[in-house]
Amino acid sequence: MSERTPLLHYRLSASVNESGEHRRDEHEPRSPATVRGRSAARQPPKLNTFFGVVIPTLLSMFSVVVFLRIGFVVGQCGLYQTIVMLLVAYFIISMTVLSVCAISTNGALDAGGAYYMISRALGPEFGGSIGIMFFLANVCGSALYVLGLVEAILTTFGISDDGLSLTGSRYEALPTGYWWSLLYGTVILLLCVLVCLIGAHIYAKATFLIFIIVMVVLGTIFISFFAVPFRTVQLPSHRNASLSPTSANFTGFKLDTLLGNVQADYVVDYTTGVMMSFATVFAVMFNGCTGIMAGSNMSGDLKNPSYSIPRGTITAVIFTFVIYNLLSILISCTCDRILLQQDYGFLTDINVWHPFVTIGVYSSTLSAAMSNLIGASRILFALAKDNLLGRFLSPAKHTSASGNPWVSVLISWVFVQEQVKLP
């Protein structure tokens, strides 16, 4: 059965083989050795649409943008341009999603996700070059999320080398510096690689737990807009502290607040000192709309990839689009413009319980790092199976008894670790 096998023939053959094996099991005598052999060779169950596609795609699209940058987008662009940006961004990714849906329903899919689809549609030579870029993109993405998680942890719990507080918080406990950051990043990456080494079924359970956490955090954010009364928020200090206001207001639902947030008002980003524009804000916001390939990368671990990939990906895209628009509208109705422009972590300050948003940031970043790592390993495994680089990638073909490409996971881990080590 090759990749050129028609999808209908592929499914019929699979169902016939399953029924044939079931009939043989009923008529063959079962000895203890046979039972032990079959149970040892039995592979873990494949993933369905929800666990294999919807959850990974949702978590990849709900990156730290939803917690730390959605207010930045509204504060700079205003509500009107924010909605326009979301429409443009989701139109772009919708074209990609529809293309993935068309390719994934035209033939039998195997491990490799987007690389497998492109290589079978356009040929192995072109697909191989795209596959290498996909692999490196996932490697760099995983390293970026690991480093981002380390930075987020040290922002809350870190102390400087001279023993002084980094943030004025009372939770400082972790020493900082390059080598300490490398240690924290290595530990986080080891946690991710252990989950990926065990297999896709454990990865699905881990991401489901993170999914529940992120949904609870989002729920508390929506509740906070209605439950929290008028509040004055102290703004973080920065390089122009003498010229900037020190506090801003969470007003609750007020028409004046909404009218003050509908038009664009581009100012200097207080974290970088760079003047913002439509293009720069769109570049930041669009990062929260990517991650649509997270479910496709799991094609080899799905029960029915031709069914799950289109439906799961479209479901995740629609859900995130609705959430981003609702958050933009609620933020515009309740938060002063100064609060949005001068405090990107304001959702923590207005939440019914402040640590919720921090937990959401940690969880979403960890899931994104894990998703990129397992995606990179599946792409590398597919490249090795196609013999595009000959013996150079032949070790990556090896799998465990359950079919998990553990060598590809380890190779991907080495690449990510090298990226984490860069100063």
Distance (Å, rounded) from C-alpha 144 to C-alpha 138?
10
- Does residue 240 form part of some domain? yes
Helix (H, G, I), strand (E, B) or coil at 232: strand
Q: pLDDT tens, 42-88?
A: 566 678 889 888 998 998 888 778 888 899 999 999 999 999 999 99
End-to-end CA distance of the chain: 47
Looking at the chain, the whole-number percentage of residues with pLDDT higher than 90 is 30
pLDDT band at 246 (very low <50, low <70, confident <90, very high): confident
DSSP state of 250: E
Closest of 265, 217, 268 to residue 239, by C-alpha: 268
Q: What is the pLDDT of residue 61?
A: 85
Q: What is the pLDDT of residue 316?
A: 93
Q: pLDDT tens, 80-96?
A: 999 999 999 999 999 98
Q: What is the pLDDT of residue 279?
A: 93
Do 54 and 316 meet the contact criterion of CB atoms below 8 Å apart? yes
Helix (H, G, I), strand (E, B) or coil at 78: helix
Q: How many structural domains comprise the chain?
A: 1
- Does residue 1 form part of some domain? no
The arithmetic mean of pLDDT across residues 199-205, rounded, is 85
Q: What is the pLDDT of residue 415?
A: 92
Angle at 292 (CA atoms; ends 368, 196), nearest 5 degrees: 40
Q: What is the pLDDT of residue 36?
A: 45
Region of 177 please: left (phi>0), alpha (psi -120 to 50) or beta.
Answer: left
Helix (H, G, I), strand (E, B) or coil at 302: strand
pTM: 0.82
- Does residue 356 form part of some domain? yes
Question: Tokens 């596609």 correspond to what residue?
Answer: 53
Distance (Å, rounded) from C-alpha 321 to C-alpha 319?
5
Q: Is the pLDDT of residue 422 over 70?
A: yes
Q: What is the DSSP string of 165-211?
A: BSSS-TT--EE-SHHHHHHHHHHHHHHHHHHHHH-HHHHHHHHHHHH
- Does residue 67 form part of some domain? yes
The arithmetic mean of pLDDT across residues 345-366, rounded, is 89
Q: Is the pLDDT of residue 6 over 70?
A: no
The arithmetic mean of pLDDT across residues 355-367, rounded, is 89
Q: What is the pLDDT of residue 47?
A: 81
Q: Which residues pair with 302 in a beta bridge?
A: 47
The arithmetic mean of pLDDT across residues 194-198, rounded, is 90
- Does residue 407 form part of some domain? yes
Question: Tokens 């530990």 correspond to what residue?
Answer: 187
Q: Is the pLDDT of residue 297 over 80?
A: no
Higher pLDDT, 227 or 401: 227
pLDDT band at 170 (very low <50, low <70, confident <90, very high): low
Neighbours of 244 (CB within 10 A): 16
Average per-residue pLDDT in the chain?
81
DSSP state of 52: I
Do 409 and 395 meet the contact criterion of CB atoms below 8 Å apart? no
Q: Is the pLDDT of residue 273 over 60?
A: yes
- Does residue 20 form part of some domain? no
Q: What is the pLDDT of residue 414?
A: 93
Using CB atoms within 10 A of its CB, is residue 202 exposed (0-12), middle (13-18) or buried (19+)? middle
Q: Is the pLDDT of residue 169 over 70?
A: no
CA dihedral 351, 354, 358, 359 (to 10 degrees): -90
Q: Is the pLDDT of residue 100 over 50?
A: yes
Q: Is the pLDDT of residue 319 over 90?
A: yes
Q: Is the pLDDT of residue 167 over 80?
A: no
- Does residue 42 form part of some domain? no
Do 274 and 90 meet the contact criterion of CB atoms below 8 Å apart? no
DSSP state of 235: P
Distance (Å, rounded) from C-alpha 334 to C-alpha 230?
9
Distance (Å, rounded) from C-alpha 192 to C-alpha 292?
20
Do 362 and 152 meet the contact criterion of CB atoms below 8 Å apart? yes
- Pairing between strand 231-234 and 247-250? antiparallel
Distance (Å, rounded) from C-alpha 137 to C-alpha 125?
19
Q: Is the pLDDT of residue 367 over 70?
A: yes
Distance (Å, rounded) from C-alpha 80 to C-alpha 253?
18
Cα–Cα distances in Å, from 244 out to 92, 181, 236, 321? 37, 32, 10, 34
Cα–Cα distances in Å, from 119 out to 4, 71, 97, 109, 132? 12, 40, 17, 11, 12
- Does residue 38 form part of some domain? no
Distance (Å, rounded) from C-alpha 140 to C-alpha 135?
9
Q: pLDDT tens, 386-420?
A: 777 777 778 888 888 877 888 999 999 999 999 88
Higher pLDDT, 298 or 338: 338
Question: Tokens 């013999």 correspond to what residue?
Answer: 387
Residue 399's CATH number: 1.20.1740.10
Max mean pLDDT range (150-164, 223-237, 299-313): 223-237
Q: Which range of residues forms the domain containing residue 281?
A: 47-421
Rg of the chain in Å (alpha carbons): 24
Q: Is the pLDDT of residue 168 over 70?
A: no
pLDDT band at 238 (very low <50, low <70, confident <90, very high): low
Higher pLDDT, 220 or 123: 220
